[in-house]
Each structure stands twice: as structure tokens, then as C-alpha cells.
Amino acid sequence: MFFLHVQKCGGTSIKRALQNGFPTDRRRDESFDLDAAASTRVAHKLDMDNFAFRDQLLAYELSSAYPRLVMGHFRYTHAMHAEFLDEFEFVTVLRDPVERFLSAYFYDRYKDREYGRIEDSLENFLLKDGVPTLRARVHAEKYAAIFRGDGDNRPRSATDHDIAASIENLKRFALVGILDDLNPFVDRLQEWSDRDIEIPRLNTSPASATNRDELTPELLDVVHEICAPAQAIYQAVREHVSN
């Protein structure tokens, strides 16, 4: 199984559940979980794009004789899917894009670790001279960057083609969970593993309710605007999953 972990979609909790519930052979290490901070440091030292480096690492892990469970913040590519479709079940979980964006921002703003920390206020993160920043758009359009499949490393705003490609690629996954309705996802995992799967609550946000006071109605409107491409992907896949 390959679990593609999208940031702030419950992935840390789901990975723990998979590790506890997935049949493994104790005589050897049969799971691999990407260390995102370490992979980012190595990519920087090698002067490589972060995703491009992770593509190579993922190809190695999926090609190895041992890991039966590969997990982490990777991306989908057509080449990877074509190569390993018959050997691995591709699995992921999505969350409402506005909720995911806000959860990711407040988590990165108030976490203790330096890796990936955001220092800017929500307003400064979202806007410059009244226009949404590229950095905010990249965060908001994460689904397109991860699932469009073309392996392009350049930060860019999602096109209609990117949205359509992401939807079709997600439909190729063996299983896609929806965070606010995980029961069908868990039921399917239990069928595969023939074990009970319990999902703990892990990696909760360090931000308090007071920290979210800076989310004004005007800023929330901006978040909805920049999350529109991801929302189109999410709604289409959610409808597909429900059917």
C-alpha cells in the first residue's frame, strides 16, 4: 500500500492506524514513512527541487523488496502510477480545502519546530497590496500541485487543465477517504487487512481559539477565493467517492 499523505488531512493519525493494523513481518522492516524535514534538507544540499527529490526516493522505496507500506508527503505522477499500479494500492485522504488551508496555516504559524514555520500574520501571508500572494495560492492549491501528475516543479496557479487532470488522477486511486466521513475509508482498510483499524487523534494544532481571532470575515473571503481550484477538485472527488 502507498499512502499519499496530504498535509493537514488527518494523515499522521491515519499513518499510525495503518502501522498498527497493517499485517507485517516482524523479521524485517516492511513500512517506510518519509521524514519530510530530513528529505527537504537533503534536497537543498543536493540543489534539487524538493518534490523531484522525493519522486526519486519514492521510486526507490516502491521498488525495494521489503516495504509493503510506504507513506509520506509525496506527489502523484503518471510515471509512478504506471510503474507500480499492479504492485501497490494507492490510497489518500482529502479534506475540505478551506478547512485544510486554515489548519495548515495556524499549525505552521504556532508550532515549536522551525521546519516550515510561518512567521507572517494571516493578513500578510494572504495579501500583498490587496492581492493574494503567490505563496498563499500555492498553499491553497495544494491538491492540484500534488495530483495533477505532470511532475512539473514550478510553482504556478492551477489551470483548468490541472484541475481536470487532478480529478481524473484521484479517480485512479484504489481508495480515497474524506476526512469528515472516514467510516467508509476505515471499513475498506479493514477488509484489506482483515484487522480492526482504529484511528487515533494525533498532531493536533498548537494554535488556540484566541489565535484564530485574526481570521476576519474579509480574510475568510480571500481564503475561499484562493481555495476555489482545490474546492473544485475536492467536490468532484467527494461526489465520485460517495457514488
| Residue range 145-179, pLDDT digits in tens | 999 999 988 888 899 999 999 999 999 999 999 99
- Structure confidence at residue 193 (pLDDT): 79
Write out the residue range of the structural domain in which residue 132 sits: 2-242
Question: What's this model's pTM, rounded to 2 decimal places?
Answer: 0.92
Query: For the chain, how many structural domains are there in total?
Result: 1
pLDDT at residue 27 greater than cutoff 70? no
CATH code for the domain of 69: 3.40.50
DSSP codes joined into one string, the chain = -EEE--TTSSHHHHHHHHHHHS---TTS--EEE--HHHHHHHHHHTT--HHHHHHHHHHHHHHSSS-SEEEES---BHHHHHHHTTT--EEEEE--HHHHHHHHHHHHHH-SSSTT---S-HHHHHEETTEE-HHHHHHHTHHHHHHSBS---S--PPPHHHHHHHHHHHHTSSEEEETTB-HHHHHHHHHHHTS-------S-----TGGGGG--HHHHHHHHHHTHHHHHHHHHHHHHHH-
Q: How much is the average pLDDT of 218-228?
A: 97
